[in-house]
Structures are given as structure tokens and as C-alpha cells.
Chain A
Amino acid sequence: TQLLEQSPQFLSIQEGENLTVYCNSSSVFSSLQWYRQEPGEGPVLLVTVVTGGEVKKLKRLTFQFGDARKDSSLHITAAQPGDTGLYLCAVINTGGFKTIFGAGTRLFVKA
């Protein structure tokens, strides 16, 4: 069983549509990170959320950390082909050295 469950696994949408992807766990975390990985490249950090209920915005991307700090969501408004990629959520284990990644949501935005 994965520590972090991401859904959906795959998502294919038209340009201009809105979408939400989820990262869920039964564990409580002190913080959670979202990365985006584009084809042929390594993951790049988008945001870190640390407070229960926290909402962070990055242009058309809105990230929310659940009140109980067990889950998070990423909402994209008016998706563009440039948003295509693998979205990974990640947490850092107790002790602060080891980052554990979810399996990711693979997003494809069609022009």
C-alpha cells in the first residue's frame, strides 16, 4: 500500500477545461509538496504547504492542504497544453531527510 494515494492516475482534457487532482493518505504530515515533471525532465518543485487548511496559488494553479493535514488537492483553472506533465505529491519523513513520492497523476492537455 502506497503511503500517498494520488487520483486520478491519468487525465486527458481539452485546453480551457478545469481539473482537480488529489493526494490522500491515512497519515498526518507536517507538510506536503507538489512537483511537476515534464516529459524527458526531472521533477520540479511547485509548492510546499505546511498549515492545515492552507491554500496557495501559483498563477492558474491552486493548492490546498486538508484541515487534518492528511490530504491535499491541486486545482488547475483553464488548463493549457503547457500544463501537460506528471504531477507528484511528496512528503518528508520524520527526521527530515527522506522524501516519499506518490505515484503521480499524468495529465495531458489537448490543444
Chain B
Amino acid sequence: DAGVIQSPRHEVTEMGQEVTLRCKPISGHNSLFWYRQTMMRGLELLIYFNNNVPIDDSGMPEDRFSAKMPNASFSTLKIQPSEPRDSAVYFCASSLLARTPNQPQHFGDGTRLSIL
């Protein structure tokens, strides 16, 4: 079975540039999550979608960050303009949230982003 697919795996760009990260969730999953992971702050939830609708974006650090989910099989996280402090590994995860609790989240392998 195909897992969560993220692209690109690595991105190096100069500050001020626009960065777009992409995610394809597991087919049939109805929830999608974007996380950022750094050594200092650990794994932080940025935003999550349920049935393609953003439910909670309180973790999005600034207006420079935006996320979309135009359909059930695709999501993007965009940073514009990017800054060096945005350097981190960004993970996408998907889950089948239903009445059954404790559904696991399935993570992609992440995008390692470096802003110079």
C-alpha cells in the first residue's frame, strides 16, 4: 500500500523565496495534518484538515504560512516569503478519523527545508 507521499524530500533556497511543500495522503483517509519538527521545539502541529476543510490552524506561526487542500488527495503548505528560521523538517500525516477513537496518524518521510 502506498503511504503518505511528500515532495520534495529536500529543499534548499534563499531567504525571501516562496517555498511550496506537497503532500498526497493515504487514499481513503479523511484527515490531514501538517507538522514542523526542529531539535529545539520538537514536533509541532501547524494545521489540520478534516474532509478537506481546515479545522484548526492555530499552530501556523505567521501569515507567511498558508495551507490548502483542494481535494482529498492533495495538500500544499506554502511559505512566502521564507526566512532562515523556517528551516526545519516538515511532515504531513493522514488519518481516518471516525467514531472509533485513537486512530493512528500515518506520516510521510518529510521535507527537509533549509533557508539560507
Contacts and interface: CB of A to CB of B under 8 A. Distances in A.
Q: Do A and B bind each other?
A: yes
Interface of A: 30-31, 33, 40-45, 48, 50, 88, 92, 96-104
Contacts of A40: 109-110
The residue in A42, A45, A96 that gathers the most chain B C-beta atoms within 10 A of its C-beta is A42
Interface of B: 4, 31, 33, 42-43, 45, 48, 50, 55-56, 91, 93, 97, 101-102, 104-105, 107-110
A97 B48 contact: yes
Contact of A97 (B4, B43, B50, B93): B50
Contacts of A43: 43, 91, 105, 107
B48 A45 contact: no
A97 B97 contact: yes
22 contacts: A30-B101, A31-B101, A33-B102, A33-B104, A41-B107, A41-B110, A42-B4, A42-B93, A42-B109, A42-B110, A43-B107, A45-B104, A92-B102, A96-B97, A97-B48, A97-B50, A97-B56, A98-B48, A99-B105, A101-B43, A103-B42, A104-B42
B43 A88 contact: yes
Nearest to B98: A96
B102 A48 contact: yes
Contacts of B104: 33, 45, 48
Nearest to B58: A98
Nearest to B108: A42
A111 B52 CA distance: 46
A92 to B, nearest CB: 7
Contacts of B110: 40-42
A92 B100 CA distance: 13
A99 B56 CA distance: 12
A31 B42 contact: no
Contacts of B91: 42-43
A13 to B, nearest CB: 21
Given A31-B102, A42-B93, A48-B102, A102 B42 contact: yes
A41 B109 contact: yes
A99 B50 CA distance: 14
Residue picked from B43, B56, B101, B104, most chain A C-beta under 10 Å = B43
